[in-house]
Amino acid sequence: MADQETFRREIAGWLEQYCPATMRSPYRGEEEWVWGGKQATFWCDDARLWLQRMVARGLVAPAWPREFGGAGFSAEHASILDEEMKRLGCREPVRSLGLWMLGPVLLKFGSDEQKRAHLPPIARGEIRWCQGYSEPGAGSDLASLQTRAVLDGSEYVVNGQKVWTSYADKADWMFCLVRTDPHAAKHAGISFLLIDMATPGVTTRPIKLISGRSPFCETFFSDVRVPAQNLVGKSGDGWTIAKSLLEHERALMSRARDQNADEEGQLDDLARQYVGVSDGRILDAVLRDRITQINMDLLCNRLTMKRSAETVAAGWGSGPESSMFKYYGTELGKRRRELMVEIAGFRGLGWEDAEFSQRELSLTRNWLRSRASSIEGGTSEIQLNIIAKRVLGLPD
């Protein structure tokens, strides 16, 4: 493997040559996200081309082994690629729960057959996954889940309901927590099952959000027959696997919030535009203080995440610390969005009116969307409980 500086130069050169200019501009809205999957849509030809080029070099999943569609990079080289993509403003070629959450878990707990079947299509952006964890009676108390899977010959028969399943109506497959042993202790009776959403008996119903979007669904299972080989790990291993996946999800969410801060622009610029400037300084002194505080908090959070990523790259593994970043990153994101709306005044409260610019309309929608960030992936209160118990080692 090339030394880090040579590698950085080479990968930056490749990105500069092959990442189309449109894929190096900030997103103008969620419609420009590429999710892949069988129902994939590309908002422009460059988006498709960018995915194809990244796939051809295994760069969609750079740290995965080549045999599973990755580039076989070390953790250090994968993070250099990430840094160079950020520096050059390259967009992610595809957004994918398969890539962010399921892939790392399959690499750790999956059988060889499961890795061969599922990882390469994820690395090519061909299959879109959704997460079937929450149920009407099992959110924070996830281990109370009741969706049943009963072994019948070589198949599990699944019955029950999931809720808040993001993009279930667009996903091809679901990684799902099911109860395989109703008599075992709550956490011990859970298993981790992969379900093809096209299987007869799976139905989804979209739920509309306050932001006007419908990013998630209720999902129903009625006598859904799932091959037993789709069980990851052993029957009853589900809780351990689920927790491992959540650590990846939480680490991802803190990174995503951080990235949003760059894409949505600087608070200072917004204040200059809406509040005004005198002698080169934002007019309102209290606002100046608040902006500086948030900028400092963002920087500290970013540096702490970088330090933690280096610990992971050094082979120390990620752990419950991801709850710390999830908690802090999402709460900080909410404070920042709140301040953005305040700065813009009534112009930050537009909904659909032609009088508001596209950027102003996004202020409102992003502010509303940010309220969900401290709920999804486990609420802030639950993260505080985990930090207290598993990071600080405090007694129950």
Ligand X SMILES: Cc1cc2nc3c(=O)[nH]c(=O)nc-3n(C[C@H](O)[C@H](O)[C@H](O)COP(=O)(O)OP(=O)(O)OC[C@H]3O[C@@H](n4cnc5c(N)ncnc54)[C@H](O)[C@@H]3O)c2cc1C
Q: Choose, by CB under 6 A, the member of 50, 133, 325, 367 that binds ligand X.
A: 133
| d(C-alpha 172, C-alpha 13), whole Å | 35
The distance in angstroms from the start CA to the end CA of the chain is 47
* Contact flags string 19-38 toward ligand X, x per CB under 6 A: --------------------
The yes or no reply on residue 140 touching ligand X (CB under 6 A) is yes
* Contact flags string 324-363 toward ligand X, x per CB under 6 A: ----------------------------------------
C-alpha angle 186-187-191 in degrees, rounded to nearest 5: 110
CB closer to ligand X, 12 vs 143: 143
The yes or no reply on residue 364 touching ligand X (CB under 6 A) is no
Q: Which range in 12-20, 44-52, 299-307, 369-377 contacts ligand X by CB under 6 A?
A: 369-377
Contact status, residue 215 vs residue 209, Cβ threshold 8 Å = yes
Backbone angles phi and psi of 227, in degrees to 5: -55, 135
Instruction: At 395, list the tokens.
Output: 């007694």
| d(C-alpha 226, C-alpha 220), whole Å | 14
Supply the minimum distance, in Å, between the C-beta of residue 319 and ligand X: 20
The yes or no reply on residue 152 touching ligand X (CB under 6 A) is no
Q: Which range in 51-59, 147-155, 224-232, 378-386 contacts ligand X by CB under 6 A?
A: 378-386
- What one-letter code names the amino acid at 215? P
CB closer to ligand X, 212 vs 276: 212
Looking up tokens 């709850």, which residue turns up? 323
The yes or no reply on residue 146 touching ligand X (CB under 6 A) is no
Q: Choose, by CB under 6 A, the member of 79, 96, 147, 165 that binds ligand X.
A: 165
The yes or no reply on residue 76 touching ligand X (CB under 6 A) is no
Q: Which range in 34-42, 50-58, 278-286, 374-382 contacts ligand X by CB under 6 A?
A: 374-382
| d(C-alpha 206, C-alpha 126), whole Å | 23
Residue 343 falls in which region: left (phi positive, over 0), alpha (psi -120 to 50) or beta: alpha
Instruction: At 70, list the tokens.
Output: 């990755």
The yes or no reply on residue 216 touching ligand X (CB under 6 A) is yes
Contact status, residue 359 vs residue 263, Cβ threshold 8 Å = no
DSSP state for residue 209 in the 8-state scheme: -
| d(C-alpha 254, C-alpha 75), whole Å | 19
The yes or no reply on residue 7 touching ligand X (CB under 6 A) is no
Contact status, residue 318 vs residue 312, Cβ threshold 8 Å = yes
The yes or no reply on residue 221 touching ligand X (CB under 6 A) is no
Count of CA atoms in the C-beta half-sphere (13 A) of 108: 15
Supply the minimum distance, in Å, between the C-beta of residue 386 and ligand X: 10
Using DSSP's 3-state secondary structure scheme, residue 128 falls into: coil
The yes or no reply on residue 381 touching ligand X (CB under 6 A) is yes
Using DSSP's 3-state secondary structure scheme, residue 95 falls into: coil
The yes or no reply on residue 157 touching ligand X (CB under 6 A) is no
Q: Choose, by CB under 6 A, the member of 64, 100, 129, 164 that binds ligand X.
A: 164
| d(C-alpha 135, C-alpha 272), whole Å | 45
- Out of 84, 249, 264, 360, the active site residue is 249
Question: Among 241, 96, 109, which residue's Cα sits nearest to residue 177?
Answer: 241
Supply the minimum distance, in Å, between the C-beta of residue 193 and ligand X: 14
Is 249 assigned a catalytic role? Answer: yes
The yes or no reply on residue 379 touching ligand X (CB under 6 A) is yes
The yes or no reply on residue 214 touching ligand X (CB under 6 A) is no
**Active-site annotation, residues:** 249
List contacts with ligand X (CB under 6 A).
130-134, 139-140, 164-166, 216, 372, 375-376, 378-379, 381-382, 385
